[in-house]
Amino acid sequence: MFLKSLCKSVLFGVPIGITFLDTVGYVARVEGISMQPVLNPGTKNTDYVFLSRWSVRDYQVKRGDVISLVSPKDPNQKIIKRVVALEGDVVNTLGYKNQYVKIPEGHCWVEGDHTGHTLDSNTFGPVSLGLINAKALCIVWPPSRWQNLEAKLPNNRSPISKSI
């Protein structure tokens, strides 16, 4: 009787859980200093964020959104960065091979908040929207840092010209 109940729970629970994680979202640990001071502000702090897959299901992101994406340099690594520019925008780069870049269709420009301590579009160029897998909505751990993550750009990182 117990075994039958357990099997039934697993048969229904596992697909529901996988579907939730794959379409709605999950909690992830943020490592490194590239998004300081917004994420991991201290050397001993490690933030956990809720990553919403549902928010990016149609690849509609805004300037200032904090997103998770597959690294263009290493497909086995996920990185978290801020969207600075969208397709059609012109951005003033920080050390990229061209000083000014017009973002091509189907791409965006992402940067870490901790300028100079991040591998971002200034290293690998515009990023395909297809590499985006989630949007960071809020910090969920530690409790002292509970907060929503606002979609805002640092003052000096707005695109030179915006497409929309």
**Catalytic member of 52, 55, 81, 121:** 81
Rounded distance, CA 127 to CA 108, Å?
Answer: 5
Largest Cα–Cα distance in the chain?
Answer: 69
Contact between residue 89 and residue 163 where contact means Cβ atoms under 8 Å apart: yes
Rounded distance, CA 26 to CA 49, Å?
Answer: 8
Catalytic residue list contains 81: yes
Closest CA to 27 of 47, 48, 5: 48
Catalytic residue list contains 34: yes
Contact between residue 60 and residue 146 where contact means Cβ atoms under 8 Å apart: no
- What is the CA 95 to chain-centroid distance, rounded? 22
**Catalytic member of 34, 52, 68, 121:** 34
Tokens 């201290």 correspond to 42
Computed on alpha carbons and rounded to an integer, the radius of gyration of the chain in Å comes to 18
Catalytic residues: 34, 81
